Structure 1
Amino acid sequence: MNKYALIFCFLFWGYFAMAQTNDIMEFQSIRLHDTIKTKQTFKTINEVDKINDTFFFTTKYLKEEGLFLIEKRESYWIVYDYNDFASNYVVGKHHKLNNQYVSIEINVSRSGYGINLYSWYLIFDLKNKTYLTLDKSSYNADEKNIVLNKCESMIKFKNNTFTVIRNCLPKNECGNCIESGIYKVKNGKFIKIKSSH
């Protein structure tokens, strides 16, 4: 990898690292992608991760791949598109947090020098059609599989709060994972209400 590509990678991940150390992060609107007006089109969706009678996720819509949230309306369906990842990704099944929020984990493999693995924890607000992306894990090793740095944030949801515990190697290089602490969602924002050291 040439030095310019390496610098770009550091700047790119540095940007996300800064975003994940904020005490307040805002949910973003899910992109409106399409409207399904016929049952014939609806029946082409084979892979379904059902949330409830109104919402489900799919990773394949018509000839496209990604992560799509589909909402049933009276006689039609609305397709929302979360497609903030490029290639080499695996989408997990959703976890229902409560009647308003669901989470999904996405694992991503990036090409480049050595091994670069990342995972994101997505929180979807079904009521407001918004989402938040949290950096959950990062693993970087050289071509000989010697670990350069790694971190992982364990995220648990209980009693309407998120508890995050972050582990890192080396200990002071945790940039690509959300900070430890207790967080709450309020007014479209993910707010740290208690730090953890």
Structure 2
Amino acid sequence: MVKVDEFLVERWMNEYEHDVEVNMAETCVQPFTLREFLEFTDRPDFMDEIMDRQLTYGWIEGSPELREGIAGLYRDVDPGDVLVTGGAIEANFNSFYSLVEPGDTVVSVYPAYQQLYSVPKGFGANVKPLRLLPEKGWLPDMEELKELVDRKTKMIVVNNPHNPSGSLIDTPTLRAICEVAEGVGA
């Protein structure tokens, strides 16, 4: 049975974020109201279109129309290879669930969104933190990364832009991270 650590930021936000005058801890953009969304769509017929739509679970993997639209944003992507999720948490979980086995090594940037290191740990991985430091612009130290990977490394986890600092890893560094991963078969 998988045991994932308590998601501390979600617990904290659930307790405190709704009773404040100014919320500086919000991790998302201000959500639209339904009225604002309808104004944003610039589709006066939109309400007529959805009034008779059944509210079902729909397509588990995403509707064919949505998957075709997403695939169309990229070169050489087949809609059958697109899996729509309810957000990044579900997509990340699916990736970890599919790729990480007990005993694997996962190197994850830290600090980071807790899910990026606690979920692989919950699946039995040995999670090694790649510490991002303010004096290095919150960017990965490639020498430290090379020391952290081993023959059991299954995955190197980065998020870009980095959460919570907002730092952005440049393309040459991203390529170098991929080379380190390829070097150990991750």
Q: TM-score, normalised by structure 1?
A: 0.20
Q: Which has the higher strand share?
A: 1
Q: TM-score, normalised by structure 2?
A: 0.21
